[in-house]
Amino acid sequence: MTPDCPELDYLARLDEILADKKHLLIVAHNQPDPDAIASASAFAYLAEMRHGVETSIAYAGFVGRAENRAMVKKLGIRMKEFNRIKLSKYDCLVLVDGQPLAGNTPNMSYHIVIDHHPLRSDTTGEMVVIEPEIGVTATIMVELLIKSGLDISADLSTALAYAFISETQNLGRDTCSRDIRAYLHVYPKAKMRLLAEILYPKLPQVYFQTLAKTLHRAYTCKNLTCAHMGEIPNPEIVAEMADFLLRRERISWSFCTGVFKDQLILSIRSSNPKAKAGHLIKELPVDPDNVGGHDQIAGGYILLESKRTNDIISLQETLSADFAGLLGHKDIRWKSLLDAEVVLN
């Protein structure tokens, strides 16, 4: 969709659906990331300003990453915990940056679904906008706001700008021309000081503890690196560590896991724009309904179902071996990322 394409006029369809609605609930995927948070905020702004609809944003899980918490706090984004929502209050349900049965969203029917992940065969709704060719759900929302003629506020522009920066790593990953145009539309309106504070927040002690544990547990072979992080403070840190390990010289694939409650959180990253990481992760011993991704990023989870420690270790070893095998490496011999013990003087 582009703002000047009448044949793909999602705004007209949205106007039809919201014309008689009074209370709108916008749901982000579990453990919402900046794209989900900003897209939900943009939808709320559009519905309130164009139709006078009362809106609420809800999410399941929690916002764990320091940057994301800073985004919510500094921009005054109001979100409710999903388990405290009274659904009967709302006459329209919207899901952004996810699909109903993808395994990482509240399982219920939605009137409107907006997402940039590949279309699932079981995704339904009165209005379903699925655009896997773009890198950021926020792109759809910026295009809708442009077509609506609404002025995008500075705070909302800041949230959307950070969504692009975070999701695409400064437009360097899974990005198309539409993402770039949308980003360039909101970036000049963003509050630079607040954006900097979101990008570089103070980090808690547990972050450095997790980073140290990840580095000591990471191992490499050829162009691959893996790290099974054990117990983690929040699910989001697995993807954060996968991104971090991918920065090592001569590494083009990273794979991290972490245990959070009864789930083994998975994250795959690649520096190859044509890597098809989203397809690769579904080839691992996982439930394909609980994983997904794009060309350069993929993630999901495995239900541990009270597995013992030895069973989890065995599962992690299998995942590492299969990950390497799917990339053409047989009988691989891993070595520690840290070749020698680090001595601090």
- Which CATH number covers residue 331? 3.10.310.30
Q: Are residues 45 and 187 in the same domain?
A: yes
CA-CA distance, 334 to 215, in Å (whole number)? 14
Which strands, in side-by-side order, build the sheet including 92-96?
80-81, 54-59, 23-28, 92-96, 112-115, 127-130
Over residues 163-177, the pLDDT tens digits come to 999 999 999 999 999
Structural contact between residues 12 and 43, judged by C-beta atoms closer than 8 angstroms:
no
Q: Are residues 213 and 312 in the same domain?
A: yes
DSSP string, 204-215: -HHHHHHHHHHH
- Model confidence pTM above 0.85: yes
Residue 282 DSSP code? T
Any domain includes 113: yes
Q: Are residues 264 and 290 in the same domain?
A: yes
Any domain includes 92: yes
Q: Are residues 152 and 286 in the same domain?
A: no
Task: Say which residue the tokens 């809708």 belong to.
Answer: 144
In which band, very low, low, confident or very high, does the pLDDT at 341 lie, cut at 50, 70 and 90? low
Q: Are residues 62 and 175 in the same domain?
A: yes
Q: Are residues 138 and 244 in the same domain?
A: no
Structural contact between residues 107 and 101, judged by C-beta atoms closer than 8 angstroms:
yes
Looking at 199, 218, 239, the residue that finishes a domain is 199
Over residues 264-322, the pLDDT tens digits come to 999 999 999 999 999 999 999 999 989 999 999 999 999 998 899 999 999 999 999 99
Structural contact between residues 19 and 93, judged by C-beta atoms closer than 8 angstroms:
no
CA-CA distance, 55 to 44, in Å (whole number)? 6
**Whole-number pLDDT of residue 345:** 45
Looking at 183, 199, 215, the residue that finishes a domain is 199
In which band, very low, low, confident or very high, does the pLDDT at 1 lie, cut at 50, 70 and 90? very low
For residue 24, give the 3-state DSSP assignment.
strand
Count of domains for the chain: 2
Q: Are residues 129 and 251 in the same domain?
A: no
Looking at 199, 233, 267, the residue that finishes a domain is 199
Q: Are residues 160 and 47 in the same domain?
A: yes
Indicate if the pLDDT at residue 2 is higher than 70.
no
Domain carrying residue 107: 6-199
Over residues 83-136, the pLDDT tens digits come to 999 999 999 999 999 999 988 999 999 999 999 999 999 999 999 999 999 999
**Whole-number pLDDT of residue 4:** 44
Q: Are residues 130 and 183 in the same domain?
A: yes
Q: Are residues 195 and 230 in the same domain?
A: no
**Whole-number pLDDT of residue 343:** 46
Do the bridges between strand 263-270 and strand 253-260 make them parallel or antiparallel, or are there none, so unpaired? antiparallel
Q: Are residues 230 and 174 in the same domain?
A: no
Structural contact between residues 113 and 100, judged by C-beta atoms closer than 8 angstroms:
yes
Over residues 145-159, the pLDDT tens digits come to 999 999 999 999 999
Indicate if the pLDDT at residue 339 is higher than 80.
no
Q: Are residues 140 and 250 in the same domain?
A: no
